[in-house]
Amino acid sequence: MSDLPVLALWLAGGWILGLIYFRLVRLSADLMLSGGQGAPVFGGALLLVRLAGLGGVLVLAGLQGAGPLLAAALGLLTGRWWMMRRVWTEGG
């Protein structure tokens, strides 16, 4: 397989990972700040799970080489930008 399709897949995967990761950041922050019983603990557990998932995907990309790692990181950043843009246009 050529390098360009592989990099495009890592870019798309990083973008999807960015959308999921930063949506979970907001969800875990909401849980940690809520007054519900057990919600802060669940928010903390969600924090650990999302960090482990992000680290695992980036390590997997790094094992494939510098190109896939950079493509995944760029996709992650664009996913973050998209999610933040969505939050800003919603007004919070």
- Whether the model clears a pTM of 0.75, i.e. scores above it, the answer is yes
Domain ranges within the chain, ordered by starting residue: 3-90
Structure confidence by residue, pLDDT tens digits, 33-44:
887 888 888 988
**Residues sharing a CB contact under 8 Å with residue 62, sequence separation 6 or more, in sequence order:** 68, 69
pLDDT computed for residue 40 by the predictor:
86
The CA distance from 13 to 44, in Å, is: 25
Predicted confidence band of residue 92 (pLDDT cuts 50, 70, 90): low
**Residues sharing a CB contact under 8 Å with residue 81, sequence separation 6 or more, in sequence order:** none
